[in-house]
Amino acid sequence: MKWMLNLSLVLSVLIAASCNKGGADKIVIGNFGSLTGTEATFGVSTRDGIILAMEELNKNGGVLGKQVELKAYDNQGKPEEARLSVEKLINVDNVVAVLGEVASTRSLAGAPVAQQNKVPMISPSSTNPMVTQKGDYIFRVCFIDPFQGEVIAKFAYNTLGLRKAAIFRDSKSDYSMGLSKFFENKFVSLGGTIVGDEKYAAGDSDFKAQLTNLKSKQPEFMYVPGYYTEVGLIARQARELGVKIPLMGGDGWDSTVLKEIGGEAVEGNYFSNHYTVEDPRPEVQNFIKNYKARFGTVPDSLAALSYDSAQVLFDSIKRAGSVEGPKLRDAIAATKNFPGVTGVITLNENRDAVKSAVVLQVVDGKFKFKETINP
Amino acid sequence: MKFNKTILIILLFVVAALALNFVMGGFAFDMSLLMYAKPTRWQGLISPYYYAVLVILGINIVLSVSLALLNGFTGLFTMGHAGFMAIGAYTSASIVTFMLPTAPFFVQMIVGSLCAGTIAALIGFLIGVSSLRLNGDYLGMVTLGFSEIIRIMLLNIDAVGGARGMTDIPQYTNLGSVLLLAVIVILFIKRIRDGRLGRAMLAIKENEMAANMMGINPLAIKVKAFVISSFIAGVAGSFFAHSEGYLSTQTFTFVKSFEVIAMNVIGGLGSLSGAILGAGILTVLPEALRKVQDITGIDLRMIIYALTMILIMILRPQGLMGNREWKWLSSK
């Protein structure tokens, strides 16, 4: 019966361990991410962004007169561990809010736990629309994919003064179809016209038939919200056909491979993105300086988004004057015009961020900052 | 009288599981809490986090024990257990979500897990039959391939969520039902091991040709081992799906298969107690090590975890239990 003794020992340790309580002089926030595993860089950047925001806050006296402490747990990139980490953060560490995750799958695994326990959760960078539909305690500070379509519509109409657009979309991808739909709605409502609309399927390599068709409609620019592989080829073939108008797209273009495939043809084209290190706004430049001083690397967009998620949380705690779940939830939901690194953040009724995006231009194979577009 | 004794033991464990769940689940005389509902925040003795760890522990014990039948007793080195688990998980989640969304929980549980087990066993049968000529590492490769094929297929079925994952699966698995399942599976495997089938399996593991000479049909025995093992893995997958409430194919990569193999190896290949002990260590250790982070400040969890596994293998290459069993699991 030795095993029974062992079992009872283990259980008593578990019970004893579960009875500890966090100190009341600190506000504990939680973060779960893949700090090890194949997506470790995402998790580490995200955690570092939060650490930076927290240290800056603590240096200035904390929030509600208390210092903030971060509990960051690794989930090895596994959904089931993500759920366990959130259970531990909420029920053992008594965190007031959870920040995470990067990947939508792991946010979806963790969100129900936060919702059941009425602890607010802010995802810095999960773009799948389903994440915040899990409940009224789940928020995000990044824009959902389709919003980028509106950004380019505004940029083309207002900044470049273009009126006639053609759309060339990927019929196989939700992302491309969503962006195209929102682009079309916005551009038409601004007063522009869509003169041509053609489709391709990811994996195609010959686009000349559709491009010739679109060329004959004489658009002033072409919207190609696809991924960099096809976009590179499309740009190349468009230039070969003598199409001189600019091409535009979304963050699916954001890869150095775009230049390798498209070569000279992608020069001068525009796409929308979350954030760029070239943005001259003081929030961005200060963040980059401080991040470099603390961690020694240039922050990527995941670090910027997690920094923003932490800032939004601290701001909400301040406004709520309390760390109780329901009050904090209401305060986060009321976030309006918050000046973050990745843009001015307002949360809408779906708890998704409505915020500014940046438009970048390809110049000499690099992505140059062009303009910030507000919603 | 042996049969009666087994029934007695099962009943004893049922009572124990119910009592444990009663204590941990908040001292409620509520049938739903006893067998299917999860306690919410701090209703019971322990926090929902430890409760969730115990549920995962139960599922991992079932997985580990079912693999012990294949790897440990029959000597078939397979690396595709995550695939069977995935089939079970997705089958049960689909059936319960799409066909029985309003049925009472015990109907959902029984129909879900039986269908999960059956479909997994069917696939296990096909894999078993089609790879019978293979041995050792080759069988391992084939099963690894099969489990990846299953995963990629699920990844491309939009009805079960594809890459996004399947959400809103009814969560009725709780500690009571998982412990009950674990006990039934352990005793079931123990009886197989001590019976004619188990003897034949052990004989095949030691020397297939000699076993054949003694009148054992190795092919039939191997297929039986495959079917039983994949059935149980499928049921474990079903319980997993309904404890998580969310399924993503990221869970069922080959890493999961290797985790289950590691549970067997650390505990001792060929030992039922070892499989249970290994599952216990590999489930509790990573979670227990989260505490270390509070002291050291940096996350050394995976380093300590890996070092522990290496040390166990250096100091006890035969596994913690070796070939021995705990008294209540030994064959007389």
Contact assignment for A18 to B46 by CB distance below 8 Å: yes
- Residue in B45, B48, B301 closest to A91 by CB: B48
Cβ distance A18 to B50 less than 8 Å, yes or no, reads: yes
Contacts of B240 in chain A (CB under 8 A): 80
Model pLDDT, residue B18: 64
Chain B contact present for A9, CB below 8 A = no
CB contact (8 A) between residue A74 and residue B301? yes
Residues in A closer than 8 angstroms to B302, CB to CB, are 36, 74, 76
Q: Which residue of A has its CA nearest to B43?
A: A91
Residue A8 has pLDDT above 50, yes or no: yes
Contact B163 A79 (CB under 8 A): no
> What is the third-level CATH fold of A147-273?
Rossmann fold (3.40.50)
Q: What is the mean pLDDT of residues B263-272?
A: 89
Confirm or reject contact between A130 and chain B (CB < 8 A): yes
> Nearest CA of chain A to the CA of B298: how many Å?
10
Contact (CB<8Å) A91/B42: yes
Cβ contact A10–B47 (<8 Å): no
Q: How confident is the model at residue A66 (pLDDT cuts 50, 70, 90)?
A: confident
CA–CA gap between residue A290 and residue A76 (Å, rounded): 28
Closest CA of chain B from A18, distance in Å: 6
Amino acid at A141: V
- Residue tagged 């946010």 (tokens): A107
The band of B82, judged by pLDDT with boundaries at 50, 70 and 90, is: very high
Q: Say yes or no to pLDDT of B29 above 50.
A: no
User: CA of B210 to nearest chain A CA: how many angstroms apart?
Assistant: 37
pLDDT digits 0-9 by tens, A301-311: 888 889 999 99
Question: How do residues B166-197 score in pLDDT, each as one tens digit?
Answer: 888 888 887 878 888 998 999 899 999 999 99
User: Which one of B49, B56, B293 has the shortest CB-CB distance to A91?
Assistant: B49
**Cβ of residue A38 closer than 8 Å to a chain B Cβ:** no
- At residue A167, the pLDDT reads 92
Whether A96 contacts A69, CB under 8 Å: no
CB of B55 closer than 8 Å to CB of B243? yes
Rounded CA separation B30/B32 (Å)? 5
Which whole-number Å values give the CA distances from B260 to B48, B255, B257, in the listed order?
24, 9, 5
pLDDT of B35 higher than 60:
no
Residues in chain B closer than 8 A to A106 (CB atoms): 248
Amino acid identity at A210: Q
* Residue A72 forms contact with B (CB below 8 Å): yes
> Which site among B42, B45, B156, B250 would you substitute to test the A interface, given the most A Cβ atoms closer than 10 Å to its Cβ?
B250
**pLDDT exceeding 70 applies to what percent of chain B?**
88
Q: Output the CA torsion sign for A102, A105, A107, A110.
A: negative
Inter-chain touch B302–A72, beta carbons under 8 Å? no
Which of A74, A78, A116 is nearest residue B250 as measured by Cβ atoms? A78
Residue A98 β-bridge partners: A30, A121
Q: What pLDDT was estimated at residue A15? A: 47
Q: Are B268 and B68 in contact (CB under 8 A)?
A: no
Q: How far is CA B106 from CA A227, B16, B110, B232, in A?
A: 47, 20, 6, 18
Quick one: pLDDT at residue B197? 92
Say what the ipTM of the complex is: 0.82
The whole-number pLDDT of residue B274 equals 92
pLDDT of residue A335: 87
A88 and B287: CB-CB below 8 Å? yes
Express each pLDDT in A317-370 by its tens digit: 988 888 888 888 999 988 888 888 888 888 888 888 888 888 888 888 788 888
Q: Which band of pLDDT confidence, cut at 50, 70 and 90, is reported for residue B22?
A: low
Please say if the pLDDT value at position B92 is more than 90.
yes
The arithmetic mean of pLDDT across residues A96-107, rounded, is: 87
Using a CB-CB cut-off of 8 Å, the residues of chain B touching A15 are 45-46, 50
Amino acid at A175: Y
Highest mean pLDDT among B114-118, B156-160, B297-301, B313-317: B114-118
- Does residue A79 sit at the B interface (CB-CB below 8 Å)? yes
How close does chain A come to B270, measured CA to CA in Å? 19
What's the average model confidence in pLDDT over A194-222?
Answer: 87
Residues A24 and A28: their CA atoms lie apart, in Å, by 9
d(CA A248, CA B134): 55
Nearest CA among B82, B109, B117, B229 for reference residue B176: B109
Contact between chains at B49 and A92 (C-beta distance less than 8 A) = yes
| Minimum CA–CA partner of B256 in chain A | A78
Q: Which residues make Cβ contacts (< 8 Å) with residue B10, sequence separation at least 6?
A: B183, B184, B187
Residues of chain A with Cβ-Cβ distance to B284 below 8 Å are 10
Nearest by CB to residue B248, choosing from A79, A92, A130, is A79
Nearest CA distance, A166 vs chain B (angstrom): 30
A4–B contact, CB cutoff 8 A? no
Does the pLDDT at position A13 exceed 60?
no
Considering only CB atoms, which chain A residues are within 8 Å of B48? Answer: 87, 91
What is chain B's mean pLDDT, rounded?
84
pTM of the model: 0.81
Question: Among A178-182, B20-24, B115-119, where is mean pLDDT lowest?
Answer: B20-24
A159 phi and psi angles, rounded to 5 deg: -80, -50
Which of A3, A15, A130 shows the shortest C-beta gap to B164? A130
Contact call for B244 and A105, based on CB within 8 A = no
> Residues B204-238: pLDDT tens digits?
988 888 998 989 998 899 999 999 999 999 999 99
Does the pLDDT value for residue A112 go beyond 70? yes
**What pLDDT is stored for residue B20 in this prediction?**
65
**Averaged confidence pLDDT in chain A:** 84
Q: Do residues A51 and A70 lie in contact, with contact meaning Cβ atoms separated by under 8 Å?
A: yes
**The pLDDT of residue B231:** 96
Output A176 or A139, whichever has higher pLDDT: A139
Residues of chain A with CATH 3.40.50.2300: 8-143+282-355, 147-273
Residue B278's pLDDT band (cuts 50, 70, 90): very high
More confident of the two residues A285 and B298: A285
pLDDT band at B17 (very low <50, low <70, confident <90, very high): low
The CA dihedral of A85, A87, A93, A94, to the nearest 10 degrees, is: 140
DSSP B298: S
Q: Which helix (H) or strand (E) element contains residue A26?
A: strand A26-33
Residues 6+ positions from A112 with CB-CB distance below 8 Å:
A83, A134, A135, B245, B246
Residue of B nearest to A85 (CA): B49
Pairing mode of beta strands A270-273, A247-249 = parallel
Contacts of residues A255-258 at CB distance under 8 Å and 24 or more positions apart, as own/partner, are A255/A228, A257/A228, A257/A229, A257/A232, A258/A228, A258/A231, A258/A232, A258/A362
Q: Which residues of B touch A51 (CB under 8 A)?
A: none
Q: Count CB neighbours of A283 within 10 A.
A: 18
| Contact call for B41 and A91, based on CB within 8 A | yes
pLDDT tier at B24 (50, 70, 90 boundaries)?
A: low
Task: Indicate the burial class of B153 (C-beta count within 10 angstroms; 0-12, 13-18, 19 or more).
Answer: middle
Q: Does pLDDT of B87 surpass 50? A: yes
Q: Please give the torsion angle defined by the CA atoms of residues A145, A151, A152 and A154, in that order, rounded to the nearest 10 degrees.
A: 150
Min Cα distance B227 → chain A (Å) is 27
A144 pLDDT above the threshold of 90: no
Using CB atoms, which residue from A74, A84, A109 is nearest to B299? A74
pLDDT band, residue A18 (cuts 50/70/90): very low
Say yes or no to pLDDT of B28 above 50.
no
**Average pLDDT of A129-151?**
86
Q: Is the pLDDT of residue B36 over 50?
A: no
**Residue B223: predicted pLDDT:** 92
Residues 6+ apart with CB under 8 A from B304: B289, B292
Domain locations along chain B: 2-26+46-253
Shortest CA gap A79–chain B (Å): 6
* pLDDT tens, residue by residue, B39-69: 444 455 667 788 888 889 999 999 999 999 9
| CB < 8 Å to A134, chain B | 167
- Cβ neighbours of A107 in B, within 8 Å: none
Instruction: Tell me: pLDDT of B200 over 80.
Output: yes
Tell me, yes or no, if A115 comes closer than 8 A to chain B by beta carbon. Answer: no
> Which H helix or E strand runs over B151?
helix B136-155
Superfamily name with CATH number, domain A8-143+282-355: Response regulator (3.40.50.2300)
What pLDDT band is residue B261 in, cutting at 50, 70 and 90?
A: very high
Best B45, B50, B155 member to test A by mutation, with max A CBs in 10 Å, is B50
